[in-house]
Amino acid sequence: MSINQIIGQHMFIGIQGHSLTADEKKFIVEQNIGGICLFGRNVAEPKQVHDLCAEIQSLRHRQADKAPLFIGIDMEGGRVHRLKAPFTVWPPLRKLGDLDAPTVSFHFANRMGMEMKAVGINLDFAPSVDVFTNAANTVIGDRSISSDPESVARHASALVRGYIKAEILTCAKHFPGHGNTIVDSHYDLPVENTDLESLEKCELIPFKKAFKSRVDMVMTSHIMFPKIDPDWPVTLSETFIQKIIREELRYKGMVITDDLGMKAMADHYGVEEIPVRALKAGVDLLLYCNEFDVPPIAIEAILGATAQGTLDKAQLEQSHRRILDLKKTKIPHPDPLDMSEVIKIVGHADHIKIATAIANGVTPDGLLPE
């Protein structure tokens, strides 16, 4: 396995349209790219999503690792909801917190996950386990389950279990918590003056619960916490990733960055510096959602850093093994179902009934215990 191919498995990239271009296929195959992130621009209707996922997964047979590709999407419910009708349209997580019935949260995630799995999506960048501690925070708002960390933790656990039962990989975000910030990291770098002791009393509680529930990934936030690491934001911080996530919280799953094209990163750090620093800090997966010309630059920068010895090749190899182990154990059936099955699952009447009840603040009837 060449160092190029090892690096490629760490890359999670966006694509431009409803199907892959010839250049995208070539890049994914030759660079051994590990994952694809779908956005609204990539989604039309169920058959198109199904065909796109099948097309993406077909490339694994021509890649060096022959491993399934991660196919991820942001499906939280509410305003972060890439799959539109006839997929079931789910309400925001705040509705689950208001109902405060974890069994409902389990079924919410499980039914949503069944629809994603049917069309070939295997990873949801969810749940958001941010504690809503600042009423002025419109970045998170109703994407948060609650302002009570214990409530967020209970529902986070139920959501993770629901997705897992549907064979959907899960990703707790945005570590160590985005619930207090009023600055949107899409546009600038938020700075929080919270210390670690305060985070442990509030924001970290849901993450600890999600970790115990075997969440597959944790997504780092692009936030500066000067009292914890005066030099680097979380995504680029060894203090947060190595010391807190790995050592203190003993998390053994994947660490993935938030989108590295956000201005919180791009306006403050060099395009070649970002991926090298993130990997050095200890992340496993680098997420590039919208900057289609940047992943090749990032790969070259990582190659150069390993050649110079500023980035440890052994660390990359260890992370590479962790990625492949996760794919082997958690994506046993990477291809989408046949369309004859998809149409029975997507927008199922039972799913719509559950989603509608939750949206109306009512506990759905007839849900079996987990």
**How do residues 122-178 score in pLDDT, each as one tens digit?**
999 999 999 988 777 677 889 989 999 999 999 999 999 999 999 999 999 999 987
pLDDT for residue 139: 75
Is 179's pLDDT higher than 80? Answer: no
Give tens-digit pLDDT for 229-252: 999 999 999 999 999 999 999 999
Closest CA to 284 of 1, 3, 8, 10: 10
Closest CA to 348 of 113, 157, 180, 129: 113
H or E stretch covering 353: helix 349-359
Quote the tokens at residue 185.
């990291």
Q: For residue 268, with 0-12 CB atoms within 10 Å meaning exposed, 13-18 middle and 19 or more buried, which class applies?
A: middle
Got the DSSP string for 72-108?
EE-EEETTEE-S-TTSPPPPPHHHHHHHT-HHHHHHH
Domain ranges of the chain: 3-359
Give tens-digit pLDDT for 261-300: 998 898 999 999 999 999 999 999 999 999 899 999 999 9
pLDDT for residue 92: 97
pLDDT for residue 326: 98
pLDDT for residue 177: 87
Q: How far apart are CA 237 and CA 294, in angstroms?
A: 21
Question: Using alpha carbons only, how large is the chain's radius of gyration in Å?
Answer: 19
DSSP state of 218: E
The residues facing 80 across adjacent strands are 77
pTM of the model: 0.96
pLDDT for residue 117: 98
Measured at the CA of 137, the angle between CA 134 and CA 141, to 5 degrees, comes to: 100
The residues facing 35 across adjacent strands are 12, 70
Residue with tokens 């296929």: 25
pLDDT for residue 264: 86
The residue annotated as part of the active site, out of 23, 186, 231, 333, is 186
Type of residue found at 278: A
Q: Domain 3-359, what architecture?
A: Alpha-Beta Barrel (3.20)
The residue annotated as part of the active site, out of 124, 216, 229, 258, is 258
Is 332's pLDDT higher than 80? Answer: yes
Contact of 14 with 81, CB cutoff 8 Å: no
Residue 184's CB is within 10 A of a number of other CB atoms, namely 16
Decide if 186 is catalytic: yes
**Overall average pLDDT of the 182-192 stretch:** 80
Give tens-digit pLDDT for 74-129: 999 999 999 999 999 999 999 999 999 999 999 999 999 999 999 999 999 999 99
pLDDT for residue 253: 97
Contact of 111 with 334, CB cutoff 8 Å: no
Peptide bond into 86 cis (omega under 30): yes
Q: How far apart are the first and last CA of the chain?
A: 42
Is 182's pLDDT higher than 80? Answer: no
Give tens-digit pLDDT for 2-51: 999 999 999 999 999 999 999 999 999 999 999 999 999 999 999 999 99
**Overall average pLDDT of the 317-345 stretch:** 97
pLDDT for residue 208: 98
Is 62's pLDDT higher than 90? Answer: yes
Decide if 23 is catalytic: no
pLDDT for residue 368: 80
